[in-house]
Structure formats: structure tokens, C-alpha cells
Amino acid sequence: MKPGTLILHVAARFLVPLQLLFSIFLLLRGHNEPGGGFIAGLVASGAFALYLFTFGAVMTRDLMRIDPRNIIGIGLFLAMASIFPAWIQGEPFFTAQWWPVMLPGGNEIKLSTPLLFDIGVYLTVFGSVMMMFVTLTETEERV
Amino acid sequence: MSPEVALPIIIPLMTGTLTLLAWRSNILQKILSVVGSIALLISSIWLLTSVKEQGHVVLYMGNWVAPYGITLVADMLSAIMVFLTGMTAVAIAVYSLASASASHERFGYYPLMHLLLAGVAGSFLTGDIFNLYVWFEVMLIASFALLILGGERAQMEGAVKYVTMNLLSSAIFLSAIGLLYGLVGTLNMADIAVKLSEAEHTGLVDVIAVMFMVAFGIKAAAFPLFFWLPASYHTGPVAVSALFAGLLTKVGVYALFRVFSLIFNQSIEFTHQLLIWIAVFTMVTGVLGAAAQFEFRRILSIHIISQIGYILLGLALFTPLALAGGVFFIIHIIIVKTNLFLISGITHRLLGTYELKKLGGIYKSRPFLSILFLVSALSLAGLPPLSGFFAKFILIRAGIEAEAWVATGAALFVGMLTLYSMIKIWSEVFWKSLPDETDSSAINQQMTPSLAILYLPVIILTVLTLLIGLMAQPIYMISEFAAEQLLNPSGYIEAVLGVKP
Amino acid sequence: MEPIMAVTVGFLYAAAIYMMLRRSIVKLVIGLMLLSNAANLLIFTSAGMTRGAPPLIPLGAMQPEGIIADPLPQALILTAIVIAFGVLAFAVVLIHRAYNILHTDNLDLMKDTDT
């Protein structure tokens, strides 16, 4: 694949981190408002897709450092892990568990199994889309 | 709270995840895969015992009570199916230790296999019609990827047909769910059954019933929509073929059993009459197709179709005896069919081909393997005192009692032709002397560890076949119990919704 | 609104089946895409198209006020779309690989495994 133009190069450097931040924003607001793990994962992989179009598959792999397969694995593992806390409480699987944590500033964060599940979905979606992109572009580049 | 209903789904999912995380280490993947399958088997035995005690075991996922949340329900039929899934899983996991090639393992053989098992177990246990669709898709995606492992020419051609037909069936299934939801406004199968029996029976219900029949019929490879099966099943790696042959079509059959006993039981004279004819044609076409084949795995895979016909006959006659016979047949066929495919893998390992013409001489060099094959093959054909005899005996007796002469005659005739196909394999592969042109270097080799691993699941499954035949009474009792539950859906509804319908 | 939707759904099914009956494997996949979209729209339509507020219960109340839209069909469609996305991504990769191996996209030439 041909590397992108100068404009794309410059724009990508700014847009990729912004889009990643936006994906995390979407992930965290997902429980009560529109958003969530799936769409956030797609947005994050969109960011890397932009990087891929600009700089090619090899550099994207370098940037990611972790193999997409591992990301899928970790994501699935987190999602699966969110099933079990309910069992320890003696409730059916998937029952949401909430652990509110008070922060020093007086703010409260609610940690929960749905959040864990969402993070798992985020990583799984991100990993699978990235794996598709990287595999397809690598075969293209080899040809 | 009864975790045993969800564990058969969670364990393979977890195993799949862990094997995916361990993709760098082949040995770790293999260990995880075997351990996970054994855990699945244990949890399925747990489920079986608690279903035997309580009748129905229900678990509301996320503590959302029916009909609002997704409910997992196990009755006797589901528990039997899950147990057989666990059995097959262990056999295939052990067999894969020696049969899976390194390139398959690199492309995610173990994660996909366990994802497939999770999909199968999920389909057996869910009590929600849309959730059933989701598990079907989980199973399908895993099976698509497993089928093309290796990427050979025949695999690609087979996969195109397999993928197309299964997506078509999914689309029909989804449309039927949409129409059904529009009609009754609920997705919980028990709730649907209640709402449908209260509502006025209109033609639309029959249309939806037939849509479900077509969708599940494609998955079960019933007449006339079976042609994707002989085109694809023999192309994959042999352990994958065995797994598919044992479990995948049976999921479609299970869905037919569930839907046409629980939900669409108002116009039996229409739907089940249709099913009788489907069953007859499925039996006959399957066995005739097999008679025309001269390749080990192709004969076996086309034979899957005719066995599906027998099971459907059990559902179509819809008497207690027939349903019990159908359930018995499922138990028998999953074990025998998986075993026959595994044996075909061993002969392929020995002689490097599946063509009957080039095979031969195995009885001379490996009499033990030949006996293992003969037991399974004769059981498939239905010779006493093996498992297939009792399965067919119950069904045929039910057919005579229901005065369904054509179906009974077809079942007997098909049993004879099955014997013909099995004897054909026996005389070509095992009895006749080895053709000169076939490379015979591997056949006389010593018993290597990897060959011993291939033998192990075959021996276990053959012993199970013998046990089912020799101790048919307890198995029949379980089948009868499952049939009773299927015929009286009020128990299922009461267990799920907590009220008397 | 329902008649328009019904005609649209019917048209999508017809177009999907027409595409699936063509010889080219690419058109087959396009047909499958149309088919899954048709099924999704069918769920949306047959579940009843009520115009209503989002199905949220106000704080403190036990049931929603006024007419609310049924959220379930939308959840079903969302799930079905995600599944169809995954399956079709696979199908696209499959036809790409199949083309590389078989050197044809004509379904009539893919019958080695049929007999």
C-alpha cells in the first residue's frame, strides 16, 4: 500500500490520539448514556485504521506492540471474568455487582462488573477489527 | 441458584479464551483443551443428575426473571444433549492431540473448537428463542472457520455452499422470530407457548411454524435442503468432520424437537404430518446417496442425512414411544457417528487415502482396529445386540403402533441399505487385500504414541456403543423420561414462568 | 407507514434472492447482505411501529409515563446487525481466499465436491 500524503500524515498525528481519547470517553459513559464497549472499540480501531492508511501495516504493528490476538484474548478473558463475581455472592451468573469507591476529592466512582464486561467487549472488538485490518493489508503488501 | 445449567456454556467459553491467550505455546493449548473438555463433561454429568432429580432446572441470567431476561432451562432432552456434547468434546480433544497439524493449531484450532462447543451447549440450554439464534450464529462462525482450516481447493468449494446455506437458514430463522415476536410480543419460549395457546389460531401461526421448520431443517440437513452437507463435511480436517458429524446437525434436530413440541403443538395434523414426509424422504435420499459413493468419509457424511431422517420420524409420529425412540436414536447416533469418522481418520493415517479403491488389507495388519470399526458399523446398521438395534426397534415399533406404514417400511428398507453401505466399507477397506499401487509403508509400523492417542477415544466410544446396546433399559428409561417432558410442555412452562398455565 | 415498510421488506427479499441466484460469488455475498437487512427490517416492522418516548422510567416511579417505544426489537436488530457484520466479514474473506485458490468466481464451476 502506498503511504499517505503529507496532509494525511500531519492530520493523522493529531487525530489518532484524539480519536483514542474519544473512544475511552464513549466506553466510560456507556452504561447510562449512548456509548459502550462495542462502539468504543470500533472508534478505537478506526483511529488505528487511519494510522494504517497513513503509515502502512508494519508501522501500525510497531505502534500496537501487542499482537491483536493477545488483545482479543485479554478482552474475552475480562468479559468472562465479569461473570463470576455474582456466583461468589450466590446470585445467578451475570448479575451486576457494584463496588462504589470514594475518591479523595469527594467524588465517587462506581466500579462494577458491567464496566469490566464493557472493557472486555472494547478490547475484543478492537482486537478483532485490528486483526482483520492487519492481516488483509499484509497480504496486499506482500502481493 | 443452580450454576450447573450455565457451566456447560461457560467452561468451553473460558477454555477457548485461555487457549487463545496461550496461542504461543502448543503444549499449553493442548493441555488446556483436554482439561477444559473433561471439565465440560463433568459439569454435564452434574447437570444430568440434577435434572434427573428435579425434572427441570432453570437459571435466570443476571437475575432478570422470565419472561424479561434470558433464561437457561435444562430438561431431560437438553441434559442428554449436553452430556453427549461433553462426551464428544473429550473424544475430539484427545484425538486432536495427535491429529491436528501445526498449521491448523496456529490458525486457532483449539479456540475455535471450544467456541463451537460453547455454541452447541448454549443452543441446547437456552430458553429464549432469540438467544437460540445467537448461539446458532456462535456455532456457525466457529464452524465456518474450522471447516476451511488448511485452505484446500475442495474445502473452499465446500465452505462456499456450507456458508451460503447456513446464512440463508439463519435469515429465515431471524425473519420467523420477527414475525413471531410481532404476533405474541415475547421471546421466552415458555411464554410464547402460553401466549400462542391463548391466542386465536390463525394461518399465520402455521406459516411461522413452517418457516421454523425450513430454517432448522436446513441446519439439520433434512430433505430437500441437505445438499450442503455432502458437499462440505468430508472436506475438513478429520477431527473437525467428526465433531460436525456428531454435533452440528443434531443441534438443528434438537431445535426442531424443542420448537415443535413446546411452541407449535396446536396443529399437529398439519405440521407433524409434513414432518413425517420430510423424515421419510430424508431417510431414503440419504441412504441412496451413500450407496452411490466410493469414498470412506463421503459415505459416512451422506449417511448422516439418513440418520437424521430416523430422528425426525420420532418427532413426527409424536407419540410417547416414538419420541423416546428419537431421543434414544440421538444418543446412539452421536456416539457411533463420531466414532466412525475417527476410525476413518486412523485408516487415513495408515494408508494416506479415503478412496475405497486404494484402501485395503487393514484386517490383516490391524485386526483390533477392524473389530472396533465393525462394532460401530453394525451398530449404525442396527444389528442386535448393539445400540442401533434398540434405537431402530423402538422407532419401528412406534411406527407400527401409529399405523404409519409407509414410514415404517421406509425405516426398515433404509436399515437394510445402511447395512449394505457399511459392508461395502468393511469389505473394501478392511477385508480385501491391499492394492499394489497403494503406499503400504505406514501400515505395518509399530504402535507409536501418536497412533495410541488416536486409538484411545475410538476404544472409549466403541465401549460406550456396546454398553448402550447391552444395558439398553436404563438408557430407554431416560429417553422415556425426556419424551414425557416433551409431550407435556406444561412442566417446562411452569418451571420457567413459575405459574401453572 | 407499515405498508411502505412491507413493500420495502418484500423488495429487499426479492432483490436478495435474485442476487443469490446469480452465478458470481460476489453477487451471492451481496445477496446475503441484502437478506440479513431484509430480515432486520422485518423484525422492526412486524414488532409494531409505535411512535413513543424512549423506554425510560422516571426516577422514583415504578412504571413509565405515557406511550413508550418497544426497546426489544431494536435490541434484537442491533444484535442481529453485529452478528451479520461478523459473518459477512468472514464471507468476504472466504470469497477472497476462494478466488485466490480456485481462480474463478463462477459458482457453476465449483462443483467438485457435489458428487
Average pLDDT per consecutive 10 residues, chain C (115 residues; last block may be shorter): 90 94 90 92 85 77 78 88 87 85 82 69
Report the Cα A104 to chain-centroid distance in Å.
Answer: 28
**Would you say B440 and B357 are in contact if contact means Cβ atoms under 8 Å apart?**
no
Q: Do A38 and C89 touch (CB under 8 A)?
A: no
- The sign of the dihedral angle between the CA atoms of C44, C48, C54, C58 is negative
pLDDT of residue A131: 85
Is the Cβ of C82 closer than 8 Å to some Cβ of chain A?
yes
Rounded-to-integer distance, Cα B65 and Cα B415, Å: 47
From B61's Cα to the closest Cα of chain A, the distance in A is 6
Q: Is residue C28 one of the residues assigned to a domain?
A: yes
pLDDT of residue B113: 93
Angle between helices B7-21 and A68-81 (to 10 degrees): 150
User: Could you tell me how many residues make up chain A?
Assistant: 143
Q: Which chains touch C (3 or more CB pairs under 8 A)?
A: A, B
Q: Is residue C41 one of the residues assigned to a domain?
A: yes
From B465's Cα to the closest Cα of chain C, the distance in A is 31
Indicate the residue type of A21: L
Report the Cα B145 to chain-centroid distance in Å.
Answer: 19
**Would you say B499 and B65 are in contact if contact means Cβ atoms under 8 Å apart?**
no
Write out the three cell numbers for B338: 463420531
Chain C residues touching A38 at Cβ < 8 A: 82
Neighbouring-strand partners of residue A124: none
Q: Give me chain A's average pLDDT, please.
A: 84
Closest by Cα among B60, B57, B38, B59 to B47: B57
Query: Is there a cis peptide before residue B67, judged by omega within 30 degrees of 0?
Result: yes
Chain C residues touching B227 at Cβ < 8 A: 114
What domain range is B445 assigned to?
267-491
Query: Residue B130: closest CA among chain C residues belongs to which residue?
Result: C76
Query: Residue C96: closest CA among chain A residues belongs to which residue?
Result: A136
Q: Is residue B131 one of the residues assigned to a domain?
A: no
Using pLDDT thresholds of 50, 70 and 90, give the confidence band for residue A4.
Answer: low
For chain A, give every domain's residue range: 6-142
Check pLDDT > 60 for residue A46. yes
What domain range is C16 assigned to?
2-49+73-109
Chain C residues touching B159 at Cβ < 8 A: 94, 98
Is the Cβ of B179 closer than 8 Å to some Cβ of chain C?
yes
Neighbouring-strand partners of residue C106: C24
- Which distant-in-sequence residues (6+ apart) come within 8 Å of B191 by Cβ? B66, B67, B184, B496, B497
Chains B–C, number of C-beta pairs less than 8 Å apart: 115
> Total domain count for chain C?
1
Q: Which chains touch B (3 or more CB pairs under 8 A)?
A: A, C
Q: What is the distance between the terminal CA atoms of chain C, rounded to a whole angstrom?
A: 49
pLDDT of residue B418: 92
Q: Is residue C22 one of the residues assigned to a domain?
A: yes
Higher pLDDT, B447 or A43: A43
Closest by Cα among B337, B340, B330 to B395: B330
Report the Cα B258 to chain-centroid distance in Å.
Answer: 15
- Is the ipTM here above 0.90? yes
- The sign of the dihedral angle between the CA atoms of A130, A135, A138, A140 is negative
| CB-side neighbour CA atoms (13 Å) of A125 | 22
Mean pLDDT of A35-46: 90
Rounded-to-integer distance, Cα B132 and Cα B123, Å: 5
Rounded-to-integer distance, Cα B417 and Cα B328, Å: 21
| CB-side neighbour CA atoms (13 Å) of B279 | 29
pLDDT of residue C115: 61
Residue C94: give its domain's CATH number. 1.10.287
**Lookup result for grid cell 458491567:** A114
Chain B residues touching C44 at Cβ < 8 A: 178
Q: Is residue B299 one of the residues assigned to a domain?
A: yes
CA distances from B110 to A18, B104, B158, B478 (A): 37, 9, 22, 32
pLDDT tens, residue order, chain B (501 aa)? 688 888 999 999 999 999 998 888 888 999 999 999 999 999 999 999 999 988 889 988 888 887 888 899 999 999 999 999 999 999 999 999 888 877 788 888 999 999 999 999 999 999 999 999 999 999 999 999 898 887 788 888 888 889 999 999 999 999 999 999 988 888 999 999 998 888 877 788 899 999 999 999 999 998 888 888 888 888 888 899 999 988 999 999 999 999 999 988 888 888 888 999 999 999 999 999 888 888 888 899 899 999 999 999 999 999 999 999 999 999 999 999 999 999 999 988 888 888 888 888 888 888 888 999 999 999 998 888 888 899 999 999 999 998 889 999 999 999 999 999 999 999 988 888 888 777 766 666 677 888 888 899 999 999 999 999 888 899 999 999 999 999 988 889 988 887 654
- Which distant-in-sequence residues (6+ apart) come within 8 Å of C65 by Cβ? C58
Q: What is the 3-state secondary structure of B433-489?
A: CCCCCCCCCCCCCCCCHHHHHHHHHHHHHHHHHHHHHHCHHHHHHHHHHHHHHHHCH
Q: Is residue B253 one of the residues assigned to a domain?
A: no
- The sign of the dihedral angle between the CA atoms of C81, C82, C83, C87 is positive
Indicate the residue type of A77: F
Q: Is residue B251 one of the residues assigned to a domain?
A: no
Indicate the residue type of B314: G
pLDDT of residue B500: 55
Q: What is the distance between the terminal CA atoms of chain B, rounded to a whole angstrom?
A: 23
Is the Cβ of B121 closer than 8 Å to some Cβ of chain C?
no
Chain A residues touching C89 at Cβ < 8 A: 132
Candidates C43, C86, C112; nearest CB to B178: C43
From A15's Cα to the closest Cα of chain B, the distance in A is 31
Q: Cα angle vertex B211, ends B240, B186, to 5°?
A: 100
Chain A residues touching B63 at Cβ < 8 A: 86, 91-92, 94-95
Mutate to test the interface with A, among B10, B17, B24 (most CBs of A within 10 A): B17
Higher pLDDT, A101 or B395: B395
**Would you say B305 and B418 are in contact if contact means Cβ atoms under 8 Å apart?**
no
Write out the three cell numbers for B233: 463435511
Sequential DSSP letters for B111-156: HHHHHHHHHHHHHHHB-BHHHHHHHHHHHHHHHHHHHTTT--HHHH
**Would you say B164 and C32 are in contact if contact means Cβ atoms under 8 Å apart?**
yes
Sequential DSSP letters for B81-114: HHHHHHHHHHHHHHHHHHH--HHHHHTTHHHHHH
- SS3 state of residue B386: coil
What is the percent of chain A with per-residue pLDDT over 70, rounded to a whole number?
Answer: 94
Chain B residues touching A87 at Cβ < 8 A: 3
Neighbouring-strand partners of residue A36: none
Q: Do B63 and A95 touch (CB under 8 A)?
A: yes
> Total domain count for chain B?
1
pLDDT of residue B232: 86
Check pLDDT > 50 for residue A1. no
